[in-house]
Amino acid sequence: MAERVVIAAETTWSRRRRRLTWGRVARGSVPYWLILPVLGAIGAILGYPLYRLFRLAFQHYGLEELIRHSGQPVGLHNFGHVLHDQIFWHTLVRTVIFTVANVGLTMGIGTLIALLLVRVSTVVRVLLTAGLVLVWSMPVVVAVQVWGWMTNYQNGVVNYILTELHFGDYFQHNWYGSTFSQLAIVTTLIVWGALPFVAITVFAALAQVPADLVEAAQIDGAPPWRVFLDVTVPIIRPVLLILTSLSIVWDFGVFVQPYLLIGQTHITPGNYLMGIYLFEKGYFDNDYGQGAAISILMLLIVATLSIFYVRKMVRIGDVD
């Protein structure tokens, strides 16, 4: 009798527990159902192509193969070919130098503008910010066309202004005559476009620096640059690091600005940047296998460069 009661009690208890568990499982599965559509979409539109990319990199895949939808396996041939290609290494070095110059200028000038914004009166600050936001909002392709017009060799306004300001005779100066000059013009375009984001973000970070800390340092007689380096910079450092790593990733993979501004006719292996090299090799020469090998190398480099940013953002996302 007593035994039965115990058994009965146990059964109801275990049944209830099971029901609870099922309920918990059902509730626990909710987030998975919610992320499923995005996961499915990303898997289909990005995951599968990336899988194809890895297969392509080990195949010979040209126009013929694109039509037949199948490539011939060639092992590591594509990678070997790329890594023995002088153009690849020259392009890599050129892109690294280009990235360092662009990121350095963007961060340096951007921080200076942010410091300026802190110092000026409210009216000037509002005007400056409005200007920055306007520049920020310009589509890249539009900015490229405006640059093309301003620097055109016949009657570009840049040549006129430089001549008028007595920087020398820039009458009909051709800015697209040498690789250095071409990339320098592209740099001005990229830095111009990137400055608003950097300046406004650093400005927001500067607003978080406690005023009494700065004052205390000033009272102790520290010169302004020491106050900046020893008080301000450590506090805004996380923001500076995030902006720098974002800029590195963006500038390393840049495509639209150099491609359109230098123009297809002027693009030669002598002025390739990584993005363009990839485009010319894979898309223009219809050698998708080799293009895929270069893509993988480039994605690996960018992935390494962005580890810092991703880790930082994941930590933020994981906390809240």
Partner 1 sequence: MVFPVFWMISSAFKPTDQINSFTPTWFSRHPTVSHFTTAVHTPYFWTDVKNTLIIVSVTVTVSIALAFLAAVALAKYRFTGRKLFIVLVIGIQMLPGAGLIIPLYVTLASYHLVNTLTGVIVTYMTIVLPFSVWTLRGFILGIPKELEEAAMVDGSTRLGAFVRILLPLVAPGLVATSVFAFIQAWNEYLYARIILASQGKQTITVWLSYFLGTSRSTDWGALMAGSTLTAIPAVVFFLIVQRRIAFGLTAGAVRG
Q: State the binding string over 9-48 for partner 1 (x if CB under 8 A, else -).
A: -------------------x-xxx-xx-xxx-xx--xx-x
Q: Closer to partner 1 by CB, 42 or 216: give it.
A: 42
Minimum CB separation of residue 178 from partner 1 in Å reads 19
As a whole number of angstroms, the distance between CA 13 and CA 5 comes to: 12
Whichever of 3 and 318 has its CB closer to partner 1, that residue is 318
Let me know: does 183 contact 161? Beta carbons within 8 Å.
no
Nearer to partner 1, 101 or 140 (CB): 140
Total interface residues for partner 1 by CB under 8 A: 96
If binding is defined by CB under 8 A, does position 310 make contact with partner 1?
yes
Residue of the chain from 116, 150, 214, 222 that contacts partner 1 (CB under 8 A): 150
Q: Is 124 in the site for partner 1 (CB under 8 A)?
A: no
Q: Which stretch binds partner 1 (CB under 8 A): 17-25, 91-99, 115-123, 306-314?
A: 306-314
Say whether residue 194 binds partner 1 (CB under 8 A). no
CB closer to partner 1 out of 7 and 133: 133
Site for partner 1 in 239-258 (CB under 8 A): 239, 242-243, 246, 249, 252-253, 255-256
Residue 32 or 180 having the CB closest to partner 1: 32
- 263-282 residues near partner 1, rule: CB under 8 A: 263, 265, 274-276, 278-279, 282
Whether the CB-CB separation of 163 and 170 falls below 8 Å is answered with: yes
* Smallest separation, CB 69 to partner 1 (Å): 5
What residues from 202 to 241 belong to the interface with partner 1 (CB under 8 A)? 204-205, 208, 236, 238-239
